[in-house]
Amino acid sequence: MAVIMTTLATLNPNGAAALEKYAEIVIPLIDAAGGEVLSRSIFLEGLVGEGFPQFVATIRFPDADRARGLIRSDAYQGAVAYRNDAFLEVRTFLGDSL
């Protein structure tokens, strides 16, 4: 069953180069795992509630095992230092499509 991986993050104001390098490594890994990036967005305006993330990414995977495998892979783990420099806070989770 297809799953959606969502990442909510706070950008590091000094992390633009790290974000570029992180994306350069991770986007091909997502493709190789059968993932499809549905959206990558930067916060524009809050409409309801508060405490909004600055960055949101949603990616569809054919199944949860492929999404978990991506995050656990050595190739992805090699990009974690760039992720940590690009973002001050990162939360990533899996969900079902409704």
pLDDT digits (tens, 9 = 90+) for 17-39: 999 999 999 999 999 999 999 99
**What is the 3-state secondary structure of the chain?**
CCEEEEEEEEECCCCHHHHHHHHHHHHHHHHHCCCEEEEEEECCCCCCCCCCCCEEEEEEECCHHHHHHHHHCHHHHCCHHHHHHHEEEEEEEEEECC
Predicted pLDDT of residue 44:
94
Residue ranges, the chain, pLDDT below 70: none
- Residue 14 has what pLDDT? 98
CATH of 3-44+64-93, one of 3.20.20.100, 3.30.70.100, 3.90.740.10, 3.40.50.920: 3.30.70.100
The residue ranges of every structural domain in the chain are 3-44+64-93
Predicted model pTM: 0.90
